[in-house]
Chain A
Amino acid sequence: MIPSSVDYTRASSVGEAIRLLAENPDAKLLAGGHSLIPAMKLRLNSPALLIDIARIAELRFIEDTGNAIVIGAASTHADIITNPLLRALTAMIEAGELIGDTQVRNMGTLGGSIAHADPSADWPAVLLALEAQIKVQGPDGERIIPAVEFFTGFFSTALDTGEIVTEIHLPKPTAESASAYRKFMQPASRFAIVGCAASVTVKGGVISAANVAFTGVSDAAFLDEGVASALVGKPATLENIEVAASAAAEGDMHINEDHFASQAYRKHLAKVYAKRALAGACGL
């Protein structure tokens, strides 16, 4: 499979990438390319120009700013899961290790994945559960978008035309908080049929805060408020987790269906994986 003709250029800075993007409305940004190039090979996407941002040094770093871990958007999945700074953010490590395979993790990037916003991608659920802030830059300057406002629908984000994801800010966990990610994956593609990220704060054995986010279940990753609200104020026990998890993926929402999993099966899996992710986060 061969992509259609395309021009290629490499940007050496974020500023240059933004300028090139503004000058070329039919251009696409290329980072690891592990979503875009397969789509181009299938002719699902035929940009006139690729602006390669993978080697922009200011986009590839991971640092501790005191109250957050900040990840440059062009950091690869492998960069993330091997970086000691991420160790306390268990859900990031657990999700990253389940993305694709060694070769894919060596090329694919965090920024590329979230900008692409595949409804079955792992990172969006984790970023929602960990209350990430996403820094983007465009012709009008920088702005911060909370993860909960970033993923707006099927392959859709809050990014405006001409904007680039530059940084992902993850609040550092406290001594009382923990997270986990569990997924039921499509065995060939390893994309999530259902993926669940859970983050909890447990004080004196009682859950004082919880986030439960899903990917693969609906047209975009989402926070499941029903499960989270059923947990807050309750002792962190498997029984309470099971009751709360039974509320997963309920209410008026679209549930995906394909030849791997029916709507009913996906809803069932959401409850099972909410339970597993929450139990993992609570250390049960």
Chain B
Amino acid sequence: MPKITLTVNGKTHTHEVEGRLLLVHYLRDTLGLTGTHVGCDTSSCGACTIHFDGKAIKSCSLLAAQADGSSITTIEGLAPEGELHPLQEGFKEEHGLQCGFCTPGMIMCAADLLSHNPDPSEQEIREGLEGNICRCTGYHNIVRAIQYAAQKSAVAV
């Protein structure tokens, strides 16, 4: 069985894993980080989005073994303990979540978008979230939440 060492939310972990173990199951079941959700399980819905070496990816379509040597950030690691990331605050303030199932993936994808486009237009936000599906169809407020975070981050800088 492959032995993997990776950094998740700043903490290094080493485990022996089955070759077939998906990264999302490693995060949820082995590390107990259940903020990352499994929605469609077919790389369509984006609920399992995490950052893999700084880039948004769908962790249901990656093996844990592929992440050996990588740095992973999940929704739990986006902000320091007890604080909200501007995106998390935006989703709260703008009512960006209804059932909340898609929210972690939406936030992680939006964080990737804002990292290379800090002031996106509404159209760019909608296009940037094309890989994330909200089953409550709450897209308007999700876009507003991301605009809130972009403005808040701009003020912070």
- Give the interface of A toward B (CB within 8 A): 1-10, 30, 33-34, 37-38, 40-41, 50, 52, 54, 78, 100-104, 106-107, 188-190
Contact = CB atoms under 8 A, between A and B. Distances in A.
A238 B12 CA distance: 60
Given A103-B58, A107-B61, 17 more contacts: A2-B20, A4-B20, A7-B2, A7-B19, A8-B2, A33-B62, A37-B62, A41-B42, A50-B19, A54-B66, A101-B131, A102-B109, A103-B56, A106-B55, A106-B56, A107-B58, A190-B130
Instruction: Classify chain B: how many residues form its interface, as a range.
Output: 20 to 34
Interface stretch (B43-51, B79-87, B89-97, B148-156): B43-51
Given A102-B109, A106-B57, A5 B44 contact: no
B43 A34 contact: yes
A33 B20 contact: no
Contacts of B19: 5-8, 50
Contacts, number: 81
Contacts of A100: 43, 131
B65 to A, nearest CB: 4
16 contacts: A2-B22, A5-B19, A7-B19, A30-B66, A33-B63, A37-B22, A40-B20, A41-B41, A54-B66, A101-B131, A102-B56, A102-B109, A102-B131, A103-B131, A107-B52, A107-B57
A8 B128 contact: no
Contacts of B49: 103
Nearest to B51: A106
A34 B58 CA distance: 10
Interface in B27-51: 41-44, 46, 49
Contacts of B132: 101
B66 A33 contact: yes
Contact of A33 (B42, B44, B61, B112): B61
B65 A8 contact: yes
Contact of A101 (B18, B52, B62, B130): B130
B119 interface: no
Nearest to B41: A1
Q: List 9 tightest A-B contacts by C-beta distance, closest first.
A: A101-B131, A8-B19, A8-B65, A3-B20, A106-B55, A6-B19, A103-B58, A101-B130, A103-B131
